[in-house]
């Protein structure tokens, strides 16, 4: 009978330790909430947009308008272009069988090798959201001090041919 009470007391002590840790940690989390955030009535924090003066969007082309990506890597240029192709897709019939259908889809392609269109779509999405945190020098005289002496460049172009490049 005494062994059961000891086990209950130990479990109760562990519960108290967890509750104290939860209260302490939730109190420190509230202190770390940024001041630019606003709280909803349900206690959720939603950040409010606050752009830094130095924050600059690197590519001014939306993801869905990027049609060409050029990767310059150590003397080699890889040009990825977006084309509309007929793509086969398996469609479920609902009765446990499936059939092949053909539909038009935008895919990325290049000469010489096959391209994973999903990975290139991720590159375009990253370009759409890429920003700088601070601007050091808009046109530096010596790029080697920034480690850009052997820079790799990526150029994005929209359907109208407007290229945007960054290293």
pLDDT at 62: 83
Residue bearing tokens 């590519």: 59
Question: Rounded distance, CA 49 to CA 95, Å?
Answer: 49
127 class by beta-carbon count within 10 Å (0-12 exposed, 13-18 middle, 19+ buried) = buried
Query: Where residue 36 falls among pLDDT bands split at 50, 70, 90?
Result: very low
Query: Where residue 31 falls among pLDDT bands split at 50, 70, 90?
Result: low
Question: Rounded distance, CA 79 to CA 63, Å?
Answer: 17
Mention every residue, 6+ apart, whose C-beta is less than 8 A from residue 122.
none
Question: Rounded distance, CA 91 to CA 49, Å?
Answer: 42
Q: What is the mean pLDDT of residues 69-85?
A: 83
Q: Give the residue with greater pLDDT, 94 vs 165.
A: 94
Q: Give the residue with greater pLDDT, 30 vs 149.
A: 149
pLDDT at 15: 94
Average pLDDT, the chain: 77
Q: Give the residue with greater pLDDT, 10 vs 60.
A: 10
* pLDDT(35) > 70: no
The H-or-E segment that residue 80 falls in is strand 76-92
pLDDT at 140: 77
Question: Rounded distance, CA 151 to CA 155, Å?
Answer: 13
Residue bearing tokens 């330790």: 17
């Amino acid at each position: 009978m005494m062994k059961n009470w000891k086990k209950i007391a130990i479990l109760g002590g562990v519960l108290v330790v967890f509750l104290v840790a939860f209260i302490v940690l939730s109190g420190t989390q509230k202190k770390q909430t940024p001041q630019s955030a606003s709280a909803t009535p349900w206690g959720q924090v939603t950040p409010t947009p606050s752009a830094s003066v130095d924050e600059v969007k690197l590519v001014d082309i939306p993801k869905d308008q990027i049609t060409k990506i050029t990767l310059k890597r150590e003397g080699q240029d890889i040009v990825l272009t977006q084309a509309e192709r007929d793509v086969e897709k398996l469609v479920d019939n609902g009765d446990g069988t499936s059939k092949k259908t053909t539909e038009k889809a935008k895919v990325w392609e290049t000469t010489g090798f096959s391209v994973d269109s999903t990975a290139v779509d991720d590159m375009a999405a990253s370009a759409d959201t890429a920003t700088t945190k601070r601007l050091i020098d808009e046109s530096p005289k010596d790029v080697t001090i920034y480690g850009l002496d052997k820079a790799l460049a990526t150029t994005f172009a929209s359907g109208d041919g407007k290229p945007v490049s960054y290293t």
